[in-house]
Amino acid sequence: MADIWMFGLAVVFSACVLYSLIKLVSRGVRFWRKMKMLSDIPCFPPHWLWGHILEYPGPNEAGLAWQREHTAKFPYVSLALIGPFIIQVLPSHPEMVKEILRTSEPKGQMVYHLIEPWVGDGLLLSKGSKWWRNRRLLTPAFHFEILKPYMNINNQASDILVGKFQQACTEGRSMELFTDISLLTLDVMLRCAFSYSTNCQTLGDQHPYVYAVRQMSSLATERFFQFWLHSDFLYFLTPKGRQFKKYCNHVHQISADIIKKRKAELLTSDEDKTTSSQKRYLDFLDILLTAHDASGEGLTDSEIRDEVDTFLFEGHDTTSSAICWTLCSLAEHPEHQRRIQEELDEVLKGRESEDILWEDLPKLTYLNLCIKESLRLHSPVPMVQRQTTQTLTLGKHTIPPDTLINVVIYNIHHNPLIWDNSMEYRPDRFTLENCEKRDPYAFVPFSAGPRNCIGQNFAMHEIKVVISRILYRFNLELDPNHKVEKVIELVMRSKNGIWVKAKPRSR
């Protein structure tokens, strides 16, 4: 009996080994066929096992310097290999970038499947007919009439942040931007997404949602550079994989509880619903719960949760990164800070309230230039990835189906053929005259084309309000005792934070 058992195990083991070898050979054959088709795209000689991964210093300042050098060497398009079988095409010139971004090709699974357990199959990751349908259903959520009431939320959340700046100013200490501004953007997102008020700006990192989001972002970035853990089966057997799953479950539970509560509210009497609608603005969840396609079909509970989690993911860390790096740039360049303050003095002249109103936004023209230059210089979203479903032409190069294309936004924004002295902070790059001379695909902080960021106007409004409220009250300067160093995660962050000192303005 034991012999039969051992023989059975041997047969199973042999079958598994044979199957793995067949899969490995098959993958190797597909790899070499694709490499032959892409052989006219330039790249540095890859290592036979590691590809180019050993050349890359890491997701840090050294890595960004390497990316700028790489872009200068290959300013149009290049290849990058991760491990023995993963090929990526990297377009860095607007002529190439536009060919992929103006399509509706789906997001690349190599990057985005790493966060799929977090955001589900929402607008960020969905494809085909589901993506088209949901994009149409969600577009009304970002109509100007829906966005207007959010200005009050932006100002109310900014009141708390300005109070923190005032306290730091009174105590004569510096404060770290990412810590408090990410709490503000989370506060805004929770209130705009589903009218969910929390004390997250007071609790800080102790808030479980804030902690979970930060841990998931860090874990997903670390996993990206460990190609041997790209398999979900293997990753979720590891301690870090189990941690990631735990944090996912936490944020999903928050979303599910809020959705359940709101659906219960919609089942109340007509009188109660009328009263409720008079008491609050129309939020993102309202749009999701009432959206219906041409056939009268609405979103399922799981689809609603996926869209809510996607909305929170895309609008929380990305916006806080944009605000922090803009304030960092302005703290480094007081001459631009002063011009914004002069603009704000004119806009707010004669008012008792410091709130930024909807009609103020188009008047903040110089602030707009400074924000755009910060988005270019720092690229809060460093990269987006697409995966071709059909043959694509990039210039003279033919890209076969099922090819990963990494649109590295940071590289595009530092391409020396487009941006002279790309590390220099010059807001005048974005005057109307200069923009008209430049290909619109040279500046893509929110991506571009049909799969661009649906919430970019929402984000820009929030960024303008928060920065305006801070600079109207304070002059900022970087704390010389703290060095600012970038680290690339799902968004561009700072290794040890961005520390600034605030001093009261005299007007």
Q: What is the chain's alpha carbon radius of gyration, rounded to the nearest angstrom?
A: 25
Contact indicator for 306, 120 with CB cutoff of 8 Å? yes
Q: Per the domain annotation, does 54 fall within a domain? A: no
Domain that holds residue 385: 83-504
In a domain, 69, yes or no: no
**pLDDT per residue as tens digits for the range 130-148:** 999 999 999 988 988 999 9
- Secondary structure (3-state) at 498: coil
pLDDT at 10: 61
Q: State the helix-helix crossing angle for 456-473 and 150-171, rounded to 10 degrees.
A: 30
Helix 128-138, helix 301-332: angle, nearest 10: 70
Distance CA 267, CA 111 (A): 40
Residue carrying structure tokens 């874990």:
219
**Does some domain include residue 42?**
no
Biggest CA–CA distance in the chain, Å, is 94
**147-171 pLDDT, tens digit each:** 999 999 999 999 999 999 999 999 9
Note whether residue 49 is domain-resident: no
Q: Which of 81-85, 124-128, 180-184, 224-228 has the lowest mean pLDDT?
A: 224-228
Q: What angle do CA 394, 102, 107 make, to 5 degrees?
A: 90
> What is the model's pLDDT at position 274?
47
Q: Specify if 13 maps to a domain.
A: no
pLDDT tier for residue 451 given thresholds of 50, 70 and 90 = very high
What is the C-alpha separation between 83 and 51, in angstroms, rounded? 5
What is the model's pLDDT at position 271?
46
**Residues 103, 125 contacting (CB under 8 angstroms):** no
Decide if pLDDT at 224 tops 90.
Answer: no
Residue 96: pLDDT band with limits 50, 70, 90: very high
Element (H, E) at 211: helix 208-224
Q: Which residue has the higher pLDDT, 327 or 220?
A: 327
- What's residue 8's pLDDT? 60
Residue 290 pLDDT level (bands cut at 50, 70, 90): confident
Report the candidate in 338, 336, 335, 412 with the shortest Cα–Cα distance to residue 377: 412
**Is 39 within the bounds of a domain?**
no
Q: How far is CA 109 from CA 402, 444, 507, in A?
A: 10, 21, 53
**Tokens coding 333:** 């360049």
Judge whether 21 lies within some domain.
no
Determine the 3-state secondary structure of 253 from DSSP.
helix
Specify the CATH number for the domain of residue 119: 1.10.630.10
The stretches of 225-364 forming alpha helices (DSSP H) are 232-235, 239-266, 270-279, 284-290, 301-332, 334-347
Name the DSSP letter for residue 409.
H
pLDDT at 11: 62
Mean of the per-residue pLDDT values of the chain:
89
Question: Does 439 map to a domain?
Answer: yes
When divided into structural domains, the chain yields a total of: 1
Three-point CA angle 451, 453, 454, nearest 5°: 95
Residue 214 pLDDT exceeds 80: no
Token pair recorded at residue 248: 């996912």
For residue 185, CA distances in Å to 155, 198, 210, 363, 380 come to: 12, 12, 11, 23, 14
Beta strands in 180-232 (DSSP E): none
> pLDDT value at position 101?
96
Strand order in the sheet with 175-176: 175-176, 499-504, 474-478
Calpha distance 332→479 (Å, rounded): 10
The number of angstroms, rounded, from the C-alpha of 18 to the middle of its chain's C-alpha atoms is: 42
Residue type, 425: Y
Beta strands in 51-144 (DSSP E): 77-82, 86-91
299, 288 in Cβ contact below 8 A?
Answer: yes
pLDDT level of residue 16 (50, 70, 90 thresholds): low
Lowest mean pLDDT of 26-40, 269-283, 482-496, name the range: 269-283
Are 228 and 290 in contact by the 8 Å Cβ rule? The answer is: no
Q: What is the pLDDT of residues 307-341, one digit of tens each?
A: 888 888 888 889 999 999 999 999 999 999 999 99
Strands 492-494 and 486-488: antiparallel
DSSP-derived 3-state class of residue 77: strand
What's residue 299's pLDDT? Answer: 87
Least confident of 23-27, 135-139, 148-152, 383-387: 23-27
